[in-house]
């Protein structure tokens, strides 16, 4: 890995894509063209625009269709970034603090990462000038402490190995790197186990499936470590806590069953009432139909005539 690749790895590993450009004022003309720059002045007759690299441009107000102004804070940031030496970590960190105070969190993080990368690069150049394995081991530990990417740490460790693989500082750096890799592997396995955990299922009526509570578990754990009368007292407290928990769970289930039975009785009563009303309506309809059939024909015609 050469120095250019190192710089890319350090900055890219920190998620860094810092640019000093900010949104400029955009002037749209009536003929469809657009001009980007900084609006210096504007009145009813003219618009004065400063274009980077071209200078001052005066436009007639009648030629301007609309003007989209950039935010004043962005303009100030552009001026500060243009005057900041982006190769000086202290200057870059000062610009990052300026962004952080104004709520530009992502921009501040990028600038802080840039300052960190510049410091690491300077540290690595000093180690190269010294040319000792201890110096490169210090570079490794500095990068490890500041959370740089594993590829960059491995690069510094490889430089130290080339000089003296048996040096105590190199051995210590290798051990630290191995510990970090094992820790990351354990963390990855833990996250994988959490993702693969089965969904929680409510316990059934079996008493063995009923939880005994956190207190009972803690008391049982303490009783396992204790001896003599103290252990017996802790076991008794654990049994009492378990019994209280079992009784509470049973009471909850009894109330749930009672509420379910009440809802079922109300539902059955409503269904019976609806069925009775339907039967009564059907009986009335049949009675009306029978009365119409039993009525004499002449009476029915006279009724219609009336």
pLDDT tens column, 27-71: 889 888 888 788 888 888 888 888 877 788 889 988 888 887 766
Same domain for 152 and 230, yes or no, is no
Return the higher-pLDDT residue of 149 and 1. Answer: 149
On whether residue 192 sits in a domain, the answer given is: no
Q: Which residues pair with 147 in a beta bridge?
A: none
Against a cut of 0.75, is the pTM above it? no
Return the higher-pLDDT residue of 52 and 205. Answer: 52
pLDDT band at 19, cuts 50/70/90?
Answer: very low
Q: Which of 99, 42, 108 is nearest to 73 (CA)?
A: 99
When divided into structural domains, the chain yields a total of 2
Q: Is the dihedral of CA 226, 231, 236, 239 positive or negative?
A: positive
pLDDT value of residue 202: 44
In a 3-state reduction of DSSP, which class is residue 285?
helix
Distance in angstroms (rounded) separating the CA atoms of residues 36 and 38: 7
φ, ψ (nearest 5 deg) of residue 165: -70, -15
Please provide the size of the chain in residues: 306
Query: Does residue 10 register a pLDDT over 80?
Result: no
* Structural domain containing residue 28: 3-186
Same domain for 46 and 109, yes or no, is yes
pLDDT value of residue 210: 41
Same domain for 267 and 222, yes or no, is yes
Token pair of 186 as six digits = 């354990």
Q: Which residues pair with 72 in a beta bridge?
A: none
On whether residue 193 sits in a domain, the answer given is: no
Same domain for 222 and 173, yes or no, is no
Same domain for 237 and 123, yes or no, is no
pLDDT value of residue 217: 57
On whether residue 61 sits in a domain, the answer given is: yes
Same domain for 222 and 167, yes or no, is no
On whether residue 31 sits in a domain, the answer given is: yes
Same domain for 142 and 20, yes or no, is yes
Same domain for 171 and 229, yes or no, is no
Token pair of 249 as six digits = 């769970």
Judge contact between 136 and 152, C-beta under 8 A: no
Q: How many CB atoms lie within 10 A of CB 1?
A: 14
Token pair of 115 as six digits = 């300052």
Same domain for 32 and 93, yes or no, is yes
On whether residue 86 sits in a domain, the answer given is: yes
Each residue of 149-169: pLDDT tens digit? 888 888 888 988 888 889 999
Return the higher-pLDDT residue of 222 and 300. Answer: 222
Distance in angstroms (rounded) separating the CA atoms of residues 23 and 39: 13
Same domain for 227 and 268, yes or no, is yes
Judge contact between 49 and 57, C-beta under 8 A: yes
Going through the chain in order, the beta strands assigned E by DSSP cover 25-29, 34-42, 46-51, 55-60, 64-68
Each residue of 279-290: pLDDT tens digit? 777 777 777 777
């Amino acid at each position: 890995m050469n120095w250019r690749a190192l710089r890319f790895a350090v900055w890219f590993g920190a998620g860094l894509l810092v640019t000093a450009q900010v949104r400029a004022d955009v002037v749209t003309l009536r003929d469809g063209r657009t001009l980007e720059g900084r609006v210096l002045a504007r009145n009813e007759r003219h618009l004065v625009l400063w274009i980077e690299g071209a200078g001052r441009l005066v436009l007639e107000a009648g030629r301007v269709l609309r003007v989209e102004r950039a935010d004043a804070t962005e303009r100030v940031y552009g001026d500060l970034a243009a005057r900041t030496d982006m190769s000086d970590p202290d200057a870059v960190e000062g610009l990052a603090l300026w962004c952080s105070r104004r709520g530009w969190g992502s921009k501040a993080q990028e600038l802080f990462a840039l300052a960190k990368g510049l410091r690491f690069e300077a540290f690595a150049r000093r180690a190269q000038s010294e040319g000792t394995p201890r110096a490169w081991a210090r570079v490794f530990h500095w990068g490890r402490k500041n959370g740089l990417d594993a590829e960059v740490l491995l690069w510094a460790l490889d430089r130290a190995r080339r000089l003296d693989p048996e040096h105590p500082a190199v051995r210590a750096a290798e051990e630290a790197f191995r510990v970090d890799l094992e820790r990351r592997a354990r963390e990855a396995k833990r996250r994988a186990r959490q993702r693969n955990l089965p969904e929680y299922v409510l316990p059934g009526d079996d008493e063995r499936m009923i939880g005994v509570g956190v207190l009972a578990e803690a008391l049982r754990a303490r009783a396992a470590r204790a001896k003599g009368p103290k252990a017996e007292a802790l076991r008794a407290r654990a049994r009492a806590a378990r019994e209280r928990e079992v009784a509470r769970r049973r009471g909850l289930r009894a109330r749930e069953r009672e509420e379910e039975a009440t809802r079922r009785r109300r539902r059955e009563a409503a269904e019976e009432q609806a069925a009775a009303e339907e039967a009564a309506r059907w009986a009335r309809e049949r009675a009306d139909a029978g009365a119409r059939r039993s009525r004499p024909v002449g009476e029915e015609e006279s009724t219609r005539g009336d």
